[in-house]
Amino acid sequence: MSIAANIEYFNQILTGTGCRLVAVSKTKSPGAIMEAYQAGFKRFGENRVQELKEKHQSLPEDIEWHMIGHLQTKKVKMIAPFVSMIHAVDSIKLASEIDKHAERNGRTIHCLLQVHIAKESSKFGFDGEELLEAVKLGQFDHLEHLKICGLMGMATFTSDQQLIRSEFKTLKTLFETIRLMPTSDNFEFREISMGMSNDYQIAIEEGSTMIRIGSDIFGARD
Protein backbone atom coordinates (compact mmCIF):
# COMPACT_ATOMS: atom_id res chain seq x y z
CA MET A 1 0.00 0.00 0.00
CA SER A 2 1.17 3.54 -0.74
CA ILE A 3 1.53 6.18 1.96
CA ALA A 4 -1.39 8.10 0.45
CA ALA A 5 -3.57 4.96 0.52
CA ASN A 6 -2.64 4.30 4.14
CA ILE A 7 -3.58 7.86 5.12
CA GLU A 8 -6.88 7.41 3.30
CA TYR A 9 -7.50 4.15 5.21
CA PHE A 10 -7.06 5.92 8.56
CA ASN A 11 -9.20 8.88 7.46
CA GLN A 12 -11.96 6.40 6.70
CA ILE A 13 -11.84 4.41 9.91
CA LEU A 14 -11.71 7.62 11.96
CA THR A 15 -14.69 9.27 10.27
CA GLY A 16 -17.37 9.94 12.86
CA THR A 17 -15.25 8.76 15.83
CA GLY A 18 -14.08 12.17 17.09
CA CYS A 19 -10.53 10.84 16.89
CA ARG A 20 -7.84 12.38 14.68
CA LEU A 21 -4.66 11.02 13.16
CA VAL A 22 -1.11 12.17 13.86
CA ALA A 23 1.15 10.59 11.24
CA VAL A 24 4.43 9.76 12.96
CA SER A 25 7.15 10.51 10.42
CA LYS A 26 10.23 10.05 12.64
CA THR A 27 13.24 8.66 10.71
CA LYS A 28 11.29 9.00 7.45
CA SER A 29 12.43 11.23 4.60
CA PRO A 30 10.93 14.59 3.65
CA GLY A 31 9.88 12.86 0.42
CA ALA A 32 7.76 10.36 2.35
CA ILE A 33 6.13 13.21 4.27
CA MET A 34 5.41 15.01 1.00
CA GLU A 35 3.57 11.94 -0.30
CA ALA A 36 1.12 12.28 2.58
CA TYR A 37 1.05 16.09 2.26
CA GLN A 38 0.17 15.91 -1.42
CA ALA A 39 -2.71 13.63 -0.51
CA GLY A 40 -3.99 16.53 1.62
CA PHE A 41 -2.67 15.47 5.01
CA LYS A 42 -0.91 18.02 7.25
CA ARG A 43 -0.50 16.70 10.81
CA PHE A 44 2.83 15.00 11.55
CA GLY A 45 4.58 13.79 14.69
CA GLU A 46 8.30 13.61 15.41
CA ASN A 47 10.21 12.50 18.51
CA ARG A 48 13.60 14.19 18.07
CA VAL A 49 14.10 17.91 18.31
CA GLN A 50 16.87 18.29 15.73
CA GLU A 51 15.04 16.20 13.14
CA LEU A 52 11.79 18.06 13.81
CA LYS A 53 13.49 21.42 13.37
CA GLU A 54 15.14 20.40 10.09
CA LYS A 55 11.92 19.00 8.66
CA HIS A 56 10.02 22.12 9.69
CA GLN A 57 12.58 24.25 7.86
CA SER A 58 12.56 22.25 4.64
CA LEU A 59 8.86 21.37 4.33
CA PRO A 60 5.70 23.45 3.71
CA GLU A 61 4.86 26.12 6.26
CA ASP A 62 1.28 24.95 6.80
CA ILE A 63 2.27 21.56 8.26
CA GLU A 64 1.10 21.11 11.85
CA TRP A 65 4.08 19.65 13.76
CA HIS A 66 3.52 17.57 16.89
CA MET A 67 6.42 16.80 19.24
CA ILE A 68 5.48 13.37 20.59
CA GLY A 69 8.71 12.18 22.21
CA HIS A 70 10.51 12.89 25.46
CA LEU A 71 11.64 16.52 25.49
CA GLN A 72 14.66 17.84 27.40
CA THR A 73 14.21 21.29 28.93
CA LYS A 74 17.34 22.64 27.25
CA LYS A 75 15.89 21.83 23.80
CA VAL A 76 12.52 23.52 24.21
CA LYS A 77 13.77 26.75 22.62
CA MET A 78 14.53 24.97 19.32
CA ILE A 79 10.90 24.09 18.68
CA ALA A 80 9.02 26.78 20.62
CA PRO A 81 8.70 29.14 17.62
CA PHE A 82 6.65 26.72 15.52
CA VAL A 83 5.51 23.53 17.29
CA SER A 84 1.71 22.92 17.22
CA MET A 85 1.47 20.59 20.16
CA ILE A 86 3.85 18.99 22.67
CA HIS A 87 2.47 15.58 23.70
CA ALA A 88 4.92 14.45 26.35
CA VAL A 89 5.08 17.07 29.11
CA ASP A 90 6.19 14.94 32.05
CA SER A 91 7.27 17.44 34.72
CA ILE A 92 6.37 20.84 36.14
CA LYS A 93 9.91 21.93 35.30
CA LEU A 94 9.42 21.12 31.61
CA ALA A 95 6.00 22.81 31.58
CA SER A 96 7.57 25.97 33.08
CA GLU A 97 10.32 25.99 30.46
CA ILE A 98 7.78 25.65 27.63
CA ASP A 99 5.77 28.49 29.17
CA LYS A 100 8.87 30.71 29.26
CA HIS A 101 9.73 30.10 25.61
CA ALA A 102 6.11 30.44 24.52
CA GLU A 103 6.08 33.90 26.07
CA ARG A 104 9.37 34.87 24.38
CA ASN A 105 7.88 33.86 21.04
CA GLY A 106 4.58 35.62 21.67
CA ARG A 107 2.76 32.30 21.45
CA THR A 108 0.50 30.03 23.43
CA ILE A 109 1.81 26.47 23.15
CA HIS A 110 -0.64 23.58 23.28
CA CYS A 111 0.52 20.73 25.53
CA LEU A 112 -0.53 17.33 26.78
CA LEU A 113 0.53 15.90 30.11
CA GLN A 114 2.11 12.48 29.72
CA VAL A 115 0.98 9.87 32.21
CA HIS A 116 2.86 6.67 32.94
CA ILE A 117 0.22 3.98 32.38
CA ALA A 118 2.37 1.06 31.20
CA LYS A 119 3.74 -1.76 33.30
CA GLU A 120 7.22 -1.20 31.91
CA SER A 121 9.26 1.06 34.17
CA SER A 122 11.22 2.58 31.30
CA LYS A 123 8.43 4.78 30.01
CA PHE A 124 8.31 8.46 30.95
CA GLY A 125 5.39 10.34 32.42
CA PHE A 126 3.68 11.53 35.58
CA ASP A 127 2.37 8.96 37.98
CA GLY A 128 -1.45 9.35 37.95
CA GLU A 129 -1.83 10.11 41.66
CA GLU A 130 1.06 12.53 41.58
CA LEU A 131 -0.50 14.37 38.64
CA LEU A 132 -3.88 14.66 40.41
CA GLU A 133 -2.11 16.15 43.41
CA ALA A 134 -0.19 18.65 41.25
CA VAL A 135 -3.40 19.77 39.51
CA LYS A 136 -5.19 20.02 42.85
CA LEU A 137 -2.39 22.19 44.23
CA GLY A 138 -2.63 24.45 41.17
CA GLN A 139 0.96 23.80 40.15
CA PHE A 140 0.20 24.48 36.46
CA ASP A 141 -2.12 27.41 37.01
CA HIS A 142 0.46 30.20 36.64
CA LEU A 143 1.67 28.95 33.24
CA GLU A 144 -0.30 31.48 31.21
CA HIS A 145 1.40 30.78 27.91
CA LEU A 146 0.42 27.12 27.88
CA LYS A 147 -2.86 25.62 26.85
CA ILE A 148 -3.06 22.29 28.65
CA CYS A 149 -5.30 20.32 26.31
CA GLY A 150 -5.35 16.88 27.90
CA LEU A 151 -3.36 13.71 28.49
CA MET A 152 -1.06 11.40 26.57
CA GLY A 153 -0.08 7.84 27.40
CA MET A 154 1.63 4.79 25.96
CA ALA A 155 0.37 1.32 26.81
CA THR A 156 2.65 -1.61 27.49
CA PHE A 157 4.06 -3.08 24.27
CA THR A 158 2.38 -6.48 24.47
CA SER A 159 -0.04 -8.78 22.68
CA ASP A 160 -2.16 -8.88 25.86
CA GLN A 161 -5.22 -6.92 24.67
CA GLN A 162 -6.80 -6.91 28.14
CA LEU A 163 -3.76 -5.25 29.66
CA ILE A 164 -3.64 -2.60 26.92
CA ARG A 165 -7.35 -1.92 27.35
CA SER A 166 -7.07 -1.54 31.11
CA GLU A 167 -4.17 0.89 30.73
CA PHE A 168 -6.15 3.04 28.27
CA LYS A 169 -9.14 2.93 30.63
CA THR A 170 -6.91 4.22 33.41
CA LEU A 171 -5.88 7.18 31.25
CA LYS A 172 -9.47 7.93 30.24
CA THR A 173 -10.64 7.86 33.88
CA LEU A 174 -7.85 10.20 34.90
CA PHE A 175 -8.77 12.53 32.03
CA GLU A 176 -12.42 12.66 33.17
CA THR A 177 -11.37 13.29 36.76
CA ILE A 178 -9.08 16.20 35.89
CA ARG A 179 -11.62 17.64 33.47
CA LEU A 180 -14.08 18.08 36.35
CA MET A 181 -11.56 19.66 38.72
CA PRO A 182 -11.39 23.40 39.26
CA THR A 183 -8.41 24.74 37.30
CA SER A 184 -7.31 28.03 35.82
CA ASP A 185 -8.14 29.12 32.26
CA ASN A 186 -5.00 27.57 30.77
CA PHE A 187 -6.67 24.17 31.13
CA GLU A 188 -8.85 23.26 28.17
CA PHE A 189 -9.15 19.51 28.58
CA ARG A 190 -10.33 17.90 25.34
CA GLU A 191 -7.61 15.54 24.05
CA ILE A 192 -6.54 12.01 24.93
CA SER A 193 -3.52 11.07 22.84
CA MET A 194 -3.35 7.27 22.95
CA GLY A 195 -2.95 4.48 20.41
CA MET A 196 -0.12 3.51 18.05
CA SER A 197 0.13 1.02 15.17
CA ASN A 198 0.05 -1.87 17.62
CA ASP A 199 -3.01 -0.84 19.64
CA TYR A 200 -4.99 1.93 17.94
CA GLN A 201 -8.22 -0.08 17.59
CA ILE A 202 -8.42 -0.52 21.35
CA ALA A 203 -7.46 3.12 21.92
CA ILE A 204 -10.30 4.36 19.69
CA GLU A 205 -12.78 2.11 21.52
CA GLU A 206 -11.56 3.52 24.84
CA GLY A 207 -12.04 7.15 23.82
CA SER A 208 -8.81 8.29 22.18
CA THR A 209 -9.03 11.65 20.39
CA MET A 210 -5.61 11.36 18.75
CA ILE A 211 -3.87 8.23 17.57
CA ARG A 212 -0.16 8.46 16.74
CA ILE A 213 0.58 6.12 13.85
CA GLY A 214 4.03 5.56 12.35
CA SER A 215 4.80 2.15 10.87
CA ASP A 216 1.25 1.40 9.68
CA ILE A 217 1.49 4.49 7.46
CA PHE A 218 5.14 4.80 6.46
CA GLY A 219 6.29 1.18 6.84
CA ALA A 220 8.69 -0.29 9.38
CA ARG A 221 11.55 1.88 10.61
CA ASP A 222 15.17 0.73 10.14
Ligand X SMILES: *Cc1c(COP(=O)(O)O)cnc(C)c1O
**Would you tell me which residues interact with ligand X (CB under 6 A)?**
24, 26, 47, 68-69, 196-198, 212-216
Task: Give CA angle at 90 (113, 202), nearest 5°.
Answer: 50
| Closest-approach residue to ligand X (CB) | 214
Q: Report the nearest approach of ligand X to the CB of residue 63 (Å).
A: 17
Torsion-angle region of 219 (φ positive above 0: left; ψ -120 to 50: alpha; else: beta): left
Helix (H), strand (E) at residue 174: helix 161-179
Q: Report the nearest approach of ligand X to the CB of residue 200 (Å).
A: 8
- How far apart CA 186 and CA 140 sit, in angstroms, is 8
Q: Report the nearest approach of ligand X to the CB of residue 216 (Å).
A: 6
In the bound state with ligand X, the residue whose beta carbon lies nearer, of 2 and 215, is 215
Q: Report the nearest approach of ligand X to the CB of residue 214 (Å).
A: 3
DSSP label of 17: T
Q: How far is CA 45 from CA 42, 108, 154, in A?
A: 10, 19, 15
In the bound state with ligand X, the residue whose beta carbon lies nearer, of 75 and 100, is 75
In the bound state with ligand X, the residue whose beta carbon lies nearer, of 100 and 165, is 165
Please compute Rg for the chain using Cα positions.
17
In the bound state with ligand X, the residue whose beta carbon lies nearer, of 172 and 212, is 212
